[in-house]
Amino acid sequence: MMRNLIVIIFLFFIVRIASAQIDVAEDSIKFAFPDSTFHLNEINIFGNEATKDFVIFREMTLKHDSLLTHETVEYDRNRIYSLGLFNKVEMEVELISGEKANLNVTLHERWFIYPYPIFGLRDRDWSKIYYGLGLAHINFRGRNEKVFGSFALGYDPWVALSYRNPFLEESGTHFLEGRFVYNKVRNKSVDLQQQYGDFDEQHFLFSTTVGKRFGIRHTVWVNLGYRIVEIPENVNSIIHSGTDKFLQGSIGYTYDTRDLHEYPAWGTYTAVSVTKFGVPSTTIDFTHINADYRRYIPLSSDVVLTTRAFGVMSAGGEKPVYEHVYFGYGERIRGHFREVMEGENLFGVSTELHYTLLEPKYIKAEFLPKEFSLWRFGITAAAFADAGIVWFREQRVVPTTLPSGYGTGLHFLLPYSFVLRTEVAWNEIGKSEFIFDLGASF
């Protein structure tokens, strides 16, 4: 019923777009300059009434005297758009001599501070709806600082406060984050559901992160958090006591060259982190190693091949059930989309082939304030294949038995960086399923 309602709302949205005024035919640069001919003289930025210039410069690869190419100009435009601060980013190369040119960047800022309704799906499951309210400032002081406060009811309710400052100095080299989260989490373990029925866990988290960004591609960070996890006494045998209290520490590294974070068409993303749970603790003492590799390869102007490999490995002492890993919640195997698989370790691979059906277009909705009036919309066809496995440390892994699936679908690129996917998948024995999901698959 809920999925049908969402489909009806989505179709109404498409009809409303069709009747709106089209502002620009395509979301691309009209290259009026020869490729690889001119060197950059200076960058001029217009339209950023609130956002500081250094926030934009921080995302750009082009500098004074750089060689101007169609590829680098388009790449920088997508990097700026990926900040999530602008509805539209326009670039114009202004020739000033036989060898020099200026780059004029025109920005259309979004609305930065607002209350917002919260509505979503926990674990990408349409039966697990949550709803609430939040207050956000996504560009505090014009420095891309994020301040959020929110609460949600429904499935796995929460209260959260967070702050992120990516510019402790104007160079944007060091950043700081802080979070407080309380949430009530429905137990995910299938085995425990069979033993005890449904029950809720109470989670409290206080954490802070400091990090350093090297250029625009490399980032290292360190996180320290304090957690409290409470589970009903009648099932306290699955952890060391009815309440676990412990410190956890993480160190991580990311390498990111993606052009457009919401739906990349080029680049590489690699993330590796190690988290120690219990530093120290007499009850909690184990380690997670997380790795995620993604590659986006353009085969032509309309076709992109994407691949992903990811995993979680566990080491150390006994692992409490609330830190088990799963397919069937956040991570999914299409073809086994609604099947829950539980373990201590996880490995998955995925590949997609994207074909652009409709290049992203800008639609101007005159009936809305200017900060909300520019809508970006595009459509991509996709073919995909997924495989993965989860296992407990005492189990023997047999690669030939990996659950897998394949299929095809349509991906809708919507305003404010939303992606909606409609897909049909088949598993390894040919059983089909329909998938209606939010967000890019990776």
pLDDT (tens place) for every residue of the chain, 442 residues total = 444 444 434 444 444 444 444 444 444 455 678 888 899 999 999 999 999 999 999 999 999 999 999 999 999 999 999 999 999 999 999 999 889 999 999 999 998 988 878 887 777 777 888 999 999 999 999 999 999 999 999 999 999 999 999 999 999 999 999 999 999 988 888 777 777 778 888 999 999 999 999 999 999 999 999 999 988 877 755 555 578 899 999 999 999 999 988 899 999 999 999 999 998 777 889 999 999 999 999 999 999 999 999 999 999 988 888 899 999 988 999 999 999 999 999 999 999 999 999 998 888 887 777 777 788 899 999 999 999 999 998 888 776 678 999 999 999 999 888 899 999 999 999 999 999 998 899 9
Cβ neighbours of 196 (radius 10 Å): 16
The answer for residues whose C-beta is within 8 angstroms of residue 271's C-beta and 6 or more apart is: 252, 253, 254, 255, 290, 291, 292
Residues 105/89, Cβ–Cβ less than 8 Å: yes
| Helix, strand, or coil (residue 369) | coil
- Which pLDDT belongs to residue 28? 45
In whole angstroms, give the CA distance from residue 20 to residue 333: 38
Question: What is the maximal distance between C-alpha atoms in the chain?
Answer: 79
Count other Cβ atoms within 10 Å, centred on residue 264.
24
Please give the pLDDT value at position 21: 42
pTM of model > 0.75? yes
| Per-domain boundaries in the chain | 1-26+324-442, 31-109
Q: Using CA atoms of 292, 296, 297, 298 in order, give the dihedral in degrees to the nearest 10.
A: 180
pLDDT of residue 240: 53
Q: Give residue 238's pLDDT.
A: 52
CATH superfamily of 31-109: membrane protein fhac (3.10.20.310)
